[in-house]
Structure 1
Amino acid sequence: MNLNPYLAFNGNCEEAIRFYEDVLGGEITMMMRYGEAPPEYFPVSDDMKNLVMHCTLEFNGCTFFASDNMESNAGNNFSMSIDADEEEQAVKIFESLLEGGQAIMPFDNVFWGGKFGMLVDKFGVQWMVSVGH
């Protein structure tokens, strides 16, 4: 059994998933657009045809999914949590995700051990980054 997060975006899924692919050193292993669905089963308007219906990002044994959902409140009801293998990796991920976003809690030492930080990225997705706890 696997549990995989599924992110919903408001028309900018491809931009977001390519950003995460770069930050996390991952690979987009599947991307399907709404226009690829059979129109007799899944009709969409012309302005939706090039948007992402489903995509998969894989990195370091992790997987998450994403799509464009124009009715979504992307990012506000969960956090993506990354537990890095080493501090340098955690700092790089935190700082990269922070570009254009906003820190909720700076990446620093925490009372439970190790380092931890929280942020909202430029796409409105909440992230928690930790190492060494």
Structure 2
Amino acid sequence: MSKFLATYISLPGTTRAAFEHWHEILGGELDLMTYRDNPMEGMPFEPDPDAVAHVTLRSPGVELAGGDQMPGDDNQYPVRDTAYSLLYTLDNAEEGRRVIDAFLAGGGESNMPFEEAPWGGWYGQVFDRFGVMWAISTP
């Protein structure tokens, strides 16, 4: 059995828009399910039928999953933070620049310019319009 680590992120009601935006930038396959699509009985809360129950974005080298935070969730952490980032390593600086530019054009904000890194290659950081920090790296 193949093992890998995938990223799961809960967003405050913006999961659909975020994953659709990421899909536009990263391409790949997007599978999204709302609570209306798959009603679950016996849940300890009454979810909004239009809330995202689960979504997966698969693109070469990428697997992101997520869902909307539930109202009243005691674990609502701020999305925008520098304590984490999604590190996306691409083949070359041109691809890295294209991804950074797409996030910026989509309402993102540069956190660190995309430029040659002291350790070699290129590196930069951008917050997308949903507050998620993307670190872009190339060899």
TM range (shorter): 0.7 to 0.9
> Secondary structure, in 3 states, of the residue corresponding to 1:35?
coil
Deviation track 1:12-69 (CA, whole Å, cap 9, x = no partner) reads 11111011011011210x2111233435323525xx1101111000001321101111
Equivalent residue, structure 2, for 1:94 = 100
1:26 pairs, out of 14, 18, 28, with 28
RMSD: 1.7
Give the partner amino acid of 2:42.
Answer: Y
Give the partner amino acid of 2:79.
Answer: A
Instruction: State the Cα distance separating 1:104 from its structure 2 match.
Output: 1.0
The number of residues matched between the two structures is 129
Identity, in percent, stands at 29
1:11 pairs, out of 13, 29, 33, with 13
Distance, in Å, in 1 between the alignment partners of 2:6 and 2:80 is 15
- Gap change, CA 1:75 and 1:58, over 3 Å in 2: farther
For the pair 1:116 / 2:118, whether they are aligned, the reply is no
Equivalent residue, structure 2, for 1:126 = 133
TM-score, normalised to structure 2, is 0.84
Distance, in Å, in 1 between the alignment partners of 2:118 and 2:40 is 55
Where do residues 61-72 of structure 1 align in structure 2 (5 Å cutoff)? 61-70=61-70, 71=73, 72=76
Decide whether the 8 Å contact of 1:35 with 1:44 is kept in 2.
no
Give the partner amino acid of 1:54.
Answer: H
**Structure 2, unaligned runs of 5 or more:** none
**Structure 1, unaligned runs of 5 or more:** none
Instruction: State the Cα distance separating 1:115 from its structure 2 match.
Output: 0.8
Give the partner amino acid of 1:119.
Answer: V
TM-score, normalised to structure 1, is 0.87
Deviation track 1:99-124 (CA, whole Å, cap 9, x = no partner) reads 31211110011111011001111000
Distance, in Å, in 2 between the alignment partners of 1:35 and 1:105 is 40
